[in-house]
Amino acid sequence: MAAVDVIVDNLVTLWRIPSVRQNFHWIFLLISVVGSILKELELVPQTYFSSTRNALNVYFVKVSWGWTLLLLTPFLLLSNSSFSRSVTFLCRRLLSLAVATAVWYVCTETFFYIEDATGSCFETDTMDVINKELASKVSCRRAGFHWHGYDISGHSFILAYSALFIVEETAPMASLKTANLSALPRMVLNLLYVALNLIVIVWVWMFACTSVYFHDPSHKLLGTLCGLLGWYLTYRVWYLKPLSPGLPPQRHPKEQKQHA
């Protein structure tokens, strides 16, 4: 497992660079704007990732929130329990998963509603024949027709939001490097940490693919802004308040004694 330890050390070092953590969210706005321009100018050639059937989209992006929770839940439990075994503390920190899931659910359902409310059902790809009897996206597509409405990019939203959420909740790893953990918990934490960083890489890559291959510019930009807003209002505003899940612990109790 020495190789994993080296990878973990390098990743922790990377995320401890202030400019990386402080400016990570701007990457999504930059990619969204630049990618949209490249798409409109048709400067990016078609590739494997320009198809919605590519493996990363089908097996990861389509269920991205599931992957995020699957890996982040055990990591959050293991990492936070090394700071405190208090049931109250752990339950409070686990609330961040519930809050994030609520943000994901509310935003995606709102996107679906907006597309439904602003759309029409067309019987052809050229959108020249409207079927007024089918007034919802579900019924329209079930009939084999095409629904066209204001489609805020759920991919842009969830990929940006998930990546920012993971980066925030894996921050305690910097302190856990020096914590006195037994071999098994440390190995599990290291593997989860590497897996979560790999998922962040996948999310950023697929966010870039979404930006250069799919959706209208305003759809992508609005989806991205919703993801950034969800992250900002929680981790930069609400979680600083006493009545909140609170921010992830940044310094291990032993480190605090050393700095006292």
Alpha-carbon distance of 131 to 109, in angstroms, equals 24
Whether 62 and 159 have beta carbons less than 8 Å apart is answered as: no
pLDDT at position 256, please? 47
Whether 124 and 147 have beta carbons less than 8 Å apart is answered as: no
Alpha-carbon distance of 164 to 226, in angstroms, equals 12
pLDDT at position 259, please? 41
Alpha-carbon distance of 36 to 141, in angstroms, equals 27
The yes-or-no answer on residue 155 being catalytic is yes
Dihedral (CA of 239, 169, 31, 104) sign: negative
Active-site choice (146, 148, 155, 252): 155
Beta bridge partners, 122, equal 130, 146
The yes-or-no answer on residue 25 being catalytic is no
pLDDT at position 184, please? 87
pLDDT at position 128, please? 76
pLDDT digits (tens, 9 = 90+) for 147-181: 888 999 999 999 999 999 999 999 999 888 767 77
pLDDT at position 251, please? 67
Alpha-carbon distance of 235 to 256, in angstroms, equals 22
pLDDT at position 260, please? 40
pLDDT at position 252, please? 55
Task: Tell which residue, 8, 76, 73, 28, has the closest CA to residue 228.
Answer: 28
Q: From first to last of its 260 residues, what are the pLDDT tens digits of the chain? A: 688 989 999 999 999 999 999 999 999 999 999 999 999 999 999 999 999 999 999 999 999 999 999 999 999 999 998 888 889 999 999 999 999 999 999 999 999 999 998 988 888 877 777 888 888 888 888 888 888 889 999 999 999 999 999 999 999 998 887 677 788 888 999 999 999 999 999 999 999 999 999 999 999 999 999 999 999 999 999 999 999 999 998 765 555 444 44
Active-site choice (25, 215, 219, 252): 215
pLDDT at position 138, please? 86
Would the pTM count as exceeding 0.75? yes
